[in-house]
């Protein structure tokens, strides 16, 4: 089973992405603010209360959207600390459902956790001194896929954070 070679060293890139996000937040995320003078065009005789609305608070504005995207990327960065692949077997697939993130109605038969720095924990139960080769094979393939996907996601996140930070 892969030992997370693709993930080792990614922590530096994740850290760089965090810095880019912090820079983008500090710079006001583009500054394309929406300003409106409340009172214009409203009822005659009313005191023209002048209120400047910044788009930062508005979902319609560019800064509001960029801020939401930043928040999403930040949550992803928080989740990148480890990678988990769990393989279950079920005799009745109709009885399988998910409750609070846990798979119910199936038995956990293989589990791999790869930390960002590459430390790997793999648990595979044996039955009568034998491991289920077929199950182990697909579990290992999934771990490889998940690691490759994780590396690609880190690349996309770093690029996204950099673009959002520098404005293009």
Partner 1 sequence: MSGLTERVHTIVDALAGDAVGDDERLGGLARLLAQARGEVDLEFGVAGNEGPLARMRREWSEFRARALGELEARCWVGDGRLRTRVGWTGDLQLVLGPGVGADERASHVRSLRAEFERQARRLEVLTAVAVAARRIAGLLAGPGAAMVSALPVAFACVREAHARGEGGGVPWE
Q: Which is nearer to partner 1, 12 or 73 (CB)?
A: 73
Q: Cβ-count burial of 105 within 10 angstroms (0-12 exposed, 13-18 middle, 19+ buried)?
A: middle
Using CB under 8 A, pick the residue from 10, 20, 150, 158 that binds partner 1: 150
> Please, what is the Cα angle at 135 between 129 and 140, to 5 degrees?
110
Q: Largest Cα–Cα distance in the chain?
A: 89
Listed ranges 13-21, 42-50, 119-127, 159-167: which one lies at the site for partner 1 (CB under 8 A) = 159-167
Its sign, for the CA torsion 77, 79, 81, 87, is: negative
Tell which positions 14-73 bind partner 1, by CB under 8 A: 30, 32-36, 53, 55, 58-62, 65-66, 68-69, 72-73
CA 97 vs CA 89, 105, 106, 143: distances in Å:
13, 7, 9, 22
Tell which positions 65-124 bind partner 1, by CB under 8 A: 65-66, 68-69, 72-73, 75-76, 79-80, 83-91, 93, 96, 98, 103, 106, 109
Binding interface with partner 1 (CB under 8 A): 30, 32-36, 53, 55, 58-62, 65-66, 68-69, 72-73, 75-76, 79-80, 83-91, 93, 96, 98, 103, 106, 109, 134-135, 137-139, 141-142, 145-150, 152-153, 156-157, 159-160, 163-164, 167-168
């Amino acid at each position: 089973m892969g030992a997370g070679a693709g993930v080792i060293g990614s922590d530096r890139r994740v850290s760089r992405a965090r810095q880019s996000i912090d820079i983008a937040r500090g710079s006001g995320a583009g500054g394309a603010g929406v300003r409106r003078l409340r009172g214009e065009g409203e009822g005659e005789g009313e005191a023209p209360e002048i209120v400047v609305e910044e788009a930062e608070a508005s979902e319609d504005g560019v800064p509001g959207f960029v801020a939401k995207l930043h928040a999403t990327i930040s949550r992803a960065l928080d989740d990148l600390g480890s990678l988990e692949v769990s393989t279950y077997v079920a005799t009745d697939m109709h009885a399988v459902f998910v409750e609070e993130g846990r798979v119910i109605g199936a038995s956990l038969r293989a589990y791999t956790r790869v930390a960002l720095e590459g430390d790997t924990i793999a648990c595979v139960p044996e039955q009568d001194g034998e491991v289920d080769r077929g199950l182990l094979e697909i579990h290992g393939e999934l771990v490889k896929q998940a690691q490759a996907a994780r590396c690609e996601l880190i690349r996309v996140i770093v690029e996204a954070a950099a673009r959002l930070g520098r404005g293009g």
